[in-house]
Amino acid sequence: MGTAKEHWIILFLFGGKINAYSRKYIFISNAIRYEFPAFATLFFPLLFENMPDFSPIFELTPDAWLTLGVVLGLFLMLVMTSVPADMVFVGGLGVLLIFGVLDPDAALSGFGSQGLVTVGALYMVVAGLQESGGLKWVARWIPGNVTDPNRARFRLMAPIAGLSAFLNNTPVVALFIPVVIEWCRKHKVSPSKFLIPLSYASIFGGMCTLIGTSTNLVVNGLYVSRYGGSGFTMFQITLLGLPCALVGLMFMQFVGRRLLPEREGTGQVFNNPKEFTLELVVDPKSPLIGKPFNETELVDVPGGYLVELVREDEVIAPVPVGECVREGDHLLYAGNLETIRNLLQLKGIQLASEKVFDLAPLPQDRRLVEAVVSHTCPLVGKTLREGKFRQQYNAVIIAMARNGERLRGSLRDIPLKAGDVLLIESHAGFVPRQRDSGDFYLLHALEEDVNVPAPAKAVMAFCVLIGMVLVAAFGLLSMLKASLLAAGLMLACGCCTAARARRRIEWNVLMVIGAALGIGAALDQSGAATALATVLLGVASGSPWLALALVYLVTVLFTELITNNAAVALVFPIAASTAESMDVNPLPFIFCLMIAGSASFATPIGYQTNLMVYGAGGYKFTDYFRVGIPLSLLIGVTAVGLAPFIWAF
């Protein structure tokens, strides 16, 4: 026990009462004085004895240090800035090329890899299905006449997973978002109960086949480059992916649905777009007639702004600088209506007697579009005024929603965030021009004239897809050759035009893949991957199971924070080096890498389908934590637990 002096101090401080605090003090004091030296004598040798060996890191060459620095810089830029991922990765690859870590052939080899070319060809195959109307036919059939929400959820998730096993997830989810919202509106159910399951189901399906997601094709290309051979077959990943998908579907159907919030989606938020607009007309005796708009109070309006004017059946948007006010001008304002109504106090301005801006229908050359801001949009973090939205897109935002709530006030002064849902009035060419730009995930365009293709084209497109799958599955052609043949047939059969096929290709994704493959090669060639694998082995204490779990965990974390394709490209050389250093079969590591690259459930920014439903369902960021974290753990345990039994170490 402590000395008498120490006890008297305690008695004085606590008024002579040895309460719980004083007893805790005596215990800690004695423990520090008498127990800690013995504890330290036993513990610290064991601690340092089992510490991983970091010496390989300190023995790296300058090239390896530079490569690790570039990878760290890429990671920080992707997480902390809004610079597009393709620009970040191409810039990083350029640094490695300039400083001689990679020669030109090695740096550019990723852009000619089988995986990248196959991904590009599959975009064209999906374009044929979209343009022929085949996917729309499926979208009409899936909801059916089911009225029970639980049955409807499973009826939605199972076919979506099946489609996503063979098609790119993004167009599938984009097509079904308005279908789901309409079904929810009809049956008076919150869309937030269905949209996260929609996104997750597409991810489950992508795990099941080689072509289910571009991530699998990237890993396959890396495997061929390192080990040779023809790569994996169509359904080789199915042995692991299908159990993971079934576990995920069951979780969402029986457990995850209870964790989903009930929020107001954009269907309710934008139910009455005219709530955000005000129509005014210039009186014949107005003192404003003849004055330039920019010199009047009609332009800079607190809480709102001038969208456009109609003059003698001509729509002028945006209003040019120096344009003068004329008698009979019809003006449309957007923003905070309570503030905008102050305009009525101006002499010579009154409410329009005719609804010339009636949004349903719009004028023939105008469209009303709902769109989700993507994380690669150049206006993220900027206000509409700073980003010059109207000048850049020749369109105007009528309303904006975030986390299922309408944003009020002056919209032009609100910085955009990824996942914001915008109600946009645009010209007729906005949708086809922006559909594949990567700036927006378009939900749907209202009042859009769409030519419905002949059913024969849709049937032909599905026949081409099925033929591609069968040819690749039976090994008659490699996946690369089968996809190129299918893309050519889509064009030859008229399922899709060449111009539309080019627009459907997500070039930014291909740029990320090509650059990430080059950076992955730098990790391997510089020795950085081997050094990191050695440290990983030390942490795993030589256990293949623990090393496999660590590789899976690192990949999942990268996938949640940066792009999935970049994550697997960066981790692949480390995973392969780890398996080789342990002299075990690399296949469990390779296939778990595929699953981990798709298992992005915990954030809305890790996978683009999560971001697409983020605003549409009115979700909050934490909603993904609540549902996605337990799901990620469950999928991880399933993958890491099963892989070594399917492909023995």
Query: For residues 338 and 421, which has the higher predicted lDDT (pLDDT)?
Result: 421
In which residue are the tokens 């979209």 written?
130
For 122-145, write each residue's pLDDT tens digit.
Answer: 888 888 887 777 777 776 676 666
Q: Is the pLDDT score of 32 beyond 80?
A: no
- Given a cut of 70, whether residue 353 has pLDDT beyond it is no
Q: Of 287-296, 488-497, 519-528, 592-601, which one has max mean pLDDT?
A: 592-601
Decide which of 587 and 501 is more confident: 587
**What number of other Cβ atoms are within 10 A of residue 327's Cβ?**
15
Range in 212-221, 306-315, 639-648 the model is least confident about: 306-315
Average pLDDT over residues 342-356: 67
| pLDDT at position 516 over 90 | no
**Separation between Cα atoms, residue 412 and residue 47, nearest integer Å:** 57
Q: What percent of the chain has pLDDT over 70?
A: 78
What pLDDT was estimated at residue 584? Answer: 92
What is the residue extent of each domain of the chain?
4-49, 67-75+87-266+505-646, 284-347, 366-446
262-287 average pLDDT score? 69
Assess contact for 171 and 133: CB atoms under 8 A: no
Residues 80-96, mean pLDDT to the nearest whole number: 84
Residue 11: the pLDDT is 39
**List of long-range contacts for 502-506, beta carbons under 8 Å, 24+ apart:** 503/432, 503/435, 503/436, 504/123, 504/124, 504/126, 504/127, 504/130, 504/171, 504/436, 505/120, 505/123, 505/124, 505/127, 505/436, 506/123, 506/170, 506/436, 506/438
Q: Residue 364's pLDDT is what?
A: 53
Question: Measuring CA to CA, which residue among 643, 536, 523 is closest to residue 585?
Answer: 643
Q: Is pLDDT above 70 for 611?
A: yes
Cβ atoms within 10 Å, residue 5: 7
pTM of the predicted model, to two decimals? 0.72
pLDDT at 450 over 60: no
H or E element in which residue 396 lies: strand 395-402
Q: How far apart are CA 382 and CA 388, in angstroms?
A: 9
Average pLDDT taken over every residue of the chain: 78
Q: What is the pLDDT of residue 267?
A: 56
> Is CATH 1.20.1260.10 the right assignment for the domain spanning 366-446?
no
**Amino acid at residue number 587:** L
Helix (H, G, I), strand (E, B) or coil at 636: helix
pLDDT over threshold 60, residue 390? yes
Whose tokens are 């999928």? That residue is: 635
Estimate to the nearest angstrom the gap between the alpha carbon of 275 and the chain centroid. 31
Q: Would you state the pLDDT for residue 320? A: 80
- Give the pLDDT confidence score for residue 489 in this predicted structure: 92
501-530 average pLDDT score? 83
pLDDT (tens digit, 9 = 90+) per residue, 533-569? 877 777 777 789 999 999 999 899 888 877 788 888 8
| pLDDT over threshold 70, residue 200 | yes
Reported residue count of the chain is 649
Mean pLDDT on 21-33: 43
The reported pLDDT for the residue numbered 244 is 95
Least confident of 93-102, 149-158, 297-306: 297-306
Alpha-carbon gap, residue 82 to 594, rounded angstroms: 26
pLDDT tens by residue, 57-82: 667 788 888 988 998 888 888 777 76
Task: Please state the three-class secondary structure of 431-443 as a single string.
Answer: HHHHCCCCCEEEE
pLDDT value, residue 43: 41
Q: What was the pLDDT predicted at 508?
A: 78
Given this structure, which CATH class describes domain 284-347?
A: alpha beta
Mean pLDDT of 442-452: 52
pLDDT at 52 over 70: no
Instruction: Quote the pLDDT of residue 410.
Output: 63
Comparison of pLDDT for 273 and 492, the residue scoring more:
492
Beta strands in 266-365 (DSSP E): 277-282, 300-301, 304-311, 314-316, 330-335, 349-351
Interval 103-119: pLDDT, tens: 998 888 888 888 888 88
How sure is the predictor about 617, in pLDDT bands with cuts at 50, 70 and 90?
A: confident
Quote the pLDDT of residue 610.
85
Residue 319 has pLDDT above 60, yes or no: yes
pLDDT level of residue 262 (50, 70, 90 thresholds): confident
Residue pair 195/613 in contact by the 8 Å Cβ criterion: yes
